[in-house]
Amino acid sequence: MNEIEKNLLAQVADLHEIPIGAYNIRRDGEAAGRNSTANIEITSKTDKPGIDIRIKPGTKNESVHIPVIITQSGYGETVYNDFFVGKDADVLIVAGCGIHNSGCDTSQHDGIHAFYLEEGARVRYVEKHYGEGDGTGGRIMNPTTLIYMQKNSYIELETVQIRGVDSTLRITHVEADEGCEVVITERLMTHGKQIADSEMEVDLNGADSRARITSRSVAQDESVQVFRPRVVGNAKCFGHVQCDTIIMGNAKVSSVPEIAANNVEAQLVHEAAIGRIAGDQLLKLMTLGLSKEEAEERIISGFLK
């Protein structure tokens, strides 16, 4: 791989060399490397672009890396990846997409990921989006994540988009059975005239299911952000939604958390806050010798961790 491709992999998957374990690297629509293990099998779909990842029951302490990189200006694709996670498995899945666009045409990646968790399965899923390049062409990423959980399973989603993506529409849908737990953390920063739209629904269908959704974002310049998380309690359950945003410049932010209870024992909470950086925070850092810009950068960095 060339230096541009290596940098994209480092940004979206923290990969500086070929990973140990199962992996599938996709580059401009073609396979750039693949490896299965005794417990994790990766195969190509035969009816559409994408892969199936099958994780055997009881698999522990293994990981799967499936990054996508695009370096061709004007290239666009839709990819379908399905994850079948066996009973009592416990795995880390690292995805993400990086686009380098130095041309004048739009480059776009739409990824549809479906997760099927069997009873007692545990998954930590990390997805990072990153864009770069000095071209005028757009960098567009539209991820869809569908999660179906059998009883007592657990999933933790960490989604990160810090810079370089001109437009994104993120759709997440979760169906959780008895005793399931869902933890979703979203971190986002937009600048320039970027647009980020996130639609999320978590259906707590089983008794003692739980969900915790946390969104932290920074909107700068003339960018626009819309966040619509929805938790639906259809049984005895607990759900909490928290959205916090720092707004700067001429940005626009809309945060619309929703909770819906269809069972008398559903306990659901939502919180949302939008505001600028507090003046006393800036002043405190500036008295330590930082410029205003340096102080803002320090505050934003800490906020998005």
Is pTM beyond 0.75? Reply is: yes
Q: How many CA atoms lie within 13 A of 215 on its CB side?
A: 34
132-189 residue pLDDT tens: 999 999 999 999 999 999 999 999 999 999 789 999 999 999 999 999 999 999 999 9
pLDDT of residue 304: 86
Phi-psi region of 9 (alpha: psi -120 to 50; beta: other; left: phi over 0): alpha
Provide the angle, in degrees to the nearest 10, between the axes of the packed helices 292-303 and 279-286.
120
Asked if 5 and 30 touch (Cβ cutoff 8 Å), the reply is no
pLDDT interval class at 19 (50, 70, 90): confident
Pairwise CA distance, residues 276 & 273, whole Å? 10
Pairwise CA distance, residues 138 & 74, whole Å? 9
**Residue spans per domain, the chain:** 1-118, 166-305
Average pLDDT over residues 261-289: 90
pLDDT of residue 189: 94
pLDDT of residue 187: 95
Pairwise CA distance, residues 112 & 181, whole Å? 22
pLDDT interval class at 15 (50, 70, 90): confident
DSSP reduced 3-state for 298: helix
Q: What is the DSSP string of 227-293?
A: EEEEEEE-SSEEEEEEEEEEE-TT-EEEE--EEEE-STTEEEEEEEEEEPPPHHHHHHHHTTT--HH
Relative to beta strand 90-94, strand 60-65 is: parallel
pLDDT of residue 163: 81
Average pLDDT over residues 250-266: 96
180-233 residue pLDDT tens: 999 999 999 999 999 999 999 999 999 999 999 999 999 999 999 999 999 999
> What are the tokens at 295?
């102080």
30-89 residue pLDDT tens: 988 999 999 999 999 999 999 999 999 999 999 999 999 999 999 999 999 999 999 999
Backbone angles phi, psi at 222, to 5 degrees: -115, 25
pLDDT interval class at 278 (50, 70, 90): confident
282-296 residue pLDDT tens: 888 888 888 888 888
pLDDT of residue 263: 98
Q: Which of 117, 126, 124 lies closest to 151, judged by CA? A: 117
Q: To which H or E segment does residue 12 belong? A: helix 3-13
Q: Which residues, 6+ apart, have CB-to-CB distance to 52 below 8 Å?
A: 42, 43, 44, 45, 81, 82, 84
Pairwise CA distance, residues 303 & 244, whole Å? 9
Average pLDDT over residues 106-116: 97
Pairwise CA distance, residues 213 & 48, whole Å? 32
pLDDT of residue 301: 87
